[in-house]
Structure 1
Amino acid sequence: MVANYSGLEEIVEEIAGRLREVEEARDEAQELARRARVLSKTAILLIHGGELETAEGRLREARRMMMASEAISRSRWIRVEELASAQEEHAEAVILLNLMRGEDFPNPEELGVEPGRYLLGLADVIGELRREAVEALRIGDLSRAEEMLRLMEHIYLTLTSAEEVSVLLRGLRRKLDVARSLIEGTRGQIAEERGRMRLLEALRKLEDQRKSSSISLEEAS
């Protein structure tokens, strides 16, 4: 019996067409995730600039793009590498926004991100809080710098208290090592500024005493 070769070209062409569709879908999902990440990074800069409402708008748009990327990923059964980074950046930005507003920490479900990406983003918030602390020191607001340091320490200690998390979640241990260094550096800067302010206060008091003594001597003479 002779094999029937007819129809093979159509089968291969159909499969090739499906593969092209999947690749196009992957490209679209990647682009959406990339744009979402950029929007979240922009939101962080806006938060540091005090433009919280504008930052919130950027984050809403980022959330919409992430959801669209996830929908494509699920419908096509494809992996979108950029989506993980987008979720991590988004978690970092929203957590920072909440903290700057004096609000509670959001949970992963509220943000629409995977739990692991939430924790990685949370670890990065420590670096953003350091930026706030350094800026507070620059303008002489020691109490705010100390508040930022307390938040940094709280996040760090909470993450390190669950030892298995840093073992199971790739990349977290490195972020925590960086965070520890940032906390130590910030603590040192605050201590230095506190000492400087005490010295200035002591010098001011000495100057006041000197002036008071001079006035007393003039009156006595």
Structure 2
Amino acid sequence: MSSVSVYVKAIDEVLRVKDEVRELVIKTTRDIVRESSLVITYVHIGKLDEAEELLRRLKLKIDELDSKLNQHPELKYSNLYLTTLSEYVEALQFLSIVKFRCLKPPEEVGVHYVPYLQGILDLIGEIKRYILNLIKLNNISDAWVYFNIANDIYECVRGLDYPDALIPGIRHKVDVARRLLEDLREFLIDMESRIKLIEFLRNKS
């Protein structure tokens, strides 16, 4: 056996192990994304206890996978895994703002800063959905509370002026959030005016 053959065989063994881990990552991340989406659904329909329990199980699943990826940094910091973690962050923070009206800090969430930032920016879209449900209940005051939370996220993150290589996808998400918040602000102002007009006419009659 030539020396080159020995070298390649050793590399092949390393790659075989990494490929097995990669398959595990693909399977587990699918589960994490699906269950994170379910958490968000639970929060929207008011099943906060169920959301909390599912998040607890998700955290255990993420911690277990994370420990296995410590020996495989190219997978741990891959776009697939980081994007999946951002879905978890979005679900976790959505429950937090609905229950406590504040975000959990990065050290408590326990993920890389990229999925943390991606997740809280994506959260703005879920806050919009939550606000629209509040409007259906004529709860304009709470709608403004959640709008201000979303706007604060946007204002804080948009100040991070770094290249995409350091914070991938953040600039695009900031632009999306800006347009969403502009439209949402106009909508809330319009709805607030309509509600006040209806109340005025009701009191006059």
| TM-score normalised by structure 2 residue count | 0.86
Deviations along 1:37-91, one digit per CA (max 9) or x if unpaired, are: 2211211111111111111121122222222222222234541533211211111
The Cα RMSD (Å) is 2.4
Please tell me whether residue 164 in structure 1 is matched to residue 161 in structure 2. Answer: yes
Please tell me whether residue 126 in structure 1 is matched to residue 124 in structure 2. Answer: yes
- CA 1:14–1:204: 2 relative to 1, 3 Å: closer
Equivalent pairs counted in the alignment come to: 202
Q: Which amino acid aligns with 2:114?
A: G
Task: Give, in whole Å, the separation in 2 of the partners of 1:125 and 1:18.
Answer: 38
Alignment counterpart, residue 46 of structure 1, candidates 38, 42, 55: 42
Q: Pick the structure with greater CA Rg.
A: 1
- CA 1:154–1:76: 2 relative to 1, 3 Å: closer
The corresponding residue for 2:141 is: 143
CA positional deviation for 1:6: 7.7
CA positional deviation for 1:171: 1.0
Alignment counterpart, residue 194 of structure 1, candidates 188, 192, 195: 192
Q: Which amino acid aligns with 1:46?
A: Y
CA positional deviation for 1:17: 4.4
CA positional deviation for 1:104: 3.7
The corresponding residue for 2:51 is: 55
The corresponding residue for 1:32 is: 28
- CA 1:6–1:173: 2 relative to 1, 3 Å: closer
Structure 2: which 5+ residue stretches go unaligned? none
Structure 1: which 5+ residue stretches go unaligned? 208-221
The corresponding residue for 1:219 is: none
| TM-score normalised by structure 1 residue count | 0.80
Instruction: Assess if the C-alpha contact under 8 Å between 1:29 and 1:70 holds in 2.
Output: no
The corresponding residue for 1:110 is: 108
